[in-house]
Amino acid sequence: MPVKKSTTDQFVYIRYKRDNYDDFTQFKRELENMIGSDVGDRDVVVDFSESSGVASSEIGLLVRLINKFKGTARYLRIVGTEQITKTLLLTNIDKLGNLIIYRDQKEFVEQVKKLSGK
């Protein structure tokens, strides 16, 4: 499955691996549902660590979600790869605020442990 969604007390977690266009359609549907609804006070984590890249249409959805979080204490947290992180930083998406980019799954787990005091 290209999109796997789970929810915890802290996060709505979406793991996304795009293999073809239909995968993007499912990802778009999940993010648009979050943009159009209230996910409570949870941050949204989008995990691209199994993806080989990120396309402009995916970046556009991420920007829309970041804009929804402006003025709140919520964040979009992106777990990427070295290539995905470079691509996102080239777009200046990190300048929008309410965004944290992790270079890999390991960094994300370490930071979450620090936040939760474990």
Residue pLDDT, tens place only, 38-81: 667 889 999 999 988 899 999 999 999 999 999 999 999 999 99
At 74, the amino acid letter reads R
Q: Report the share of the chain in percent with pLDDT over 90.
A: 64
At 111, the amino acid letter reads Q
**CATH 3.40.50.2300 is right for the domain spanning 3-116:** no
Domain boundaries defined on the chain: 3-116
Q: Is the pLDDT of residue 103 over 80?
A: yes
Q: What is the pTM of this model?
A: 0.91
Q: Is the pLDDT of residue 102 over 80?
A: yes
Burial of 82 (0-12, 13-18, 19+ CB in 10 A): exposed
